[in-house]
Amino acid sequence: MATLSVIIPTYNEESYLRDALYSVRFADEIIVIDSYSTDDTVAIAKAYGCKVVLRAFDNFSNQKNHALTFATCDWVLFVDGDERIPYLLKNEILEAMDSGKHAAYKLNFPHFYMNRFLYHHSDNVTRLVRRAGCRFEGSVHEKLIVEGSTGKLKHPVLHYTYKGLMHYISKKDSYAWFQAEQLLQKGKKATYFHLAFKPFYRFFSSYILRRGFMDGIPGLTVASINAYGVFSRYVKLMLLQRGMR
């Protein structure tokens, strides 16, 4: 039977971590890589018997690649502190590992906002992978590189994406700095076209093409803040170009 390591990156997740840990208790080992939390996150992880690794955060890929060096099992599942693996998905994960059909699997993440799951605002992300040969690339919205084919699991992850409106906006702003720095390194330049068209298209894609309007007011809110995130990214790129950060 294949064995499973779960890796959970954390920073001040005391209010969410216990439920995340409980949902992955079927794993053979749980590794919590913490960015020096100032709350009880580390104490909770240690009390649960996790392997705790402390590392100052620089980017998402480096953080997870470092955690991978501590994993010892055949497979690795990456879970965030605000995510839960429900029973049906757990069974599907165990079956997928033992089948040997693919080297990695994508999981589905419907967003949770304003007390409901938004099934038209969901992402499919590679999170379950054979440990041998895998690695992350990219500093934000990191990509998991695997050797072999990738399948997709059916049952969704419970993802309590946003802790509130201000947390949501703050998260978008934080990501925008990382994305702007990446664009700058690639020699990209922000123009007024980017400021006007890119946010509009993100809203149109999120709300119309992906049918976010079927998620009601929460769907409209998410589409609007996603558009703001794109606008913020290019404003920050302009600031970086002018040395004004």
DSSP-based three-state secondary structure for 145: strand
**4-159: CATH topology:** Spore Coat Polysaccharide Biosynthesis Protein SpsA; Chain A (3.90.550)
Average pLDDT across the chain, whole number: 91
DSSP state of 212: G
Write the pLDDT tens digit of every residue in 56-65: 999 889 999 9
Query: Which residues, including other chains, have CB under 8 Å from residue 136's CB and lie 6 or more apart?
Result: 60, 61, 62, 64, 65, 142, 143, 144, 145
Does residue 140 carry a pLDDT above 70?
Answer: no
Closest CA to 110 of 162, 61, 172, 175: 162
Does residue 167 carry a pLDDT above 80?
Answer: no
CA distance linking residue 8 with residue 186, whole number of Å:
30
Write the pLDDT tens digit of every residue in 33-68: 999 999 999 999 999 999 999 999 998 899 999 999
Query: Which H or E run includes 112?
Result: strand 104-113
Domain ranges for the chain: 4-159, 165-241
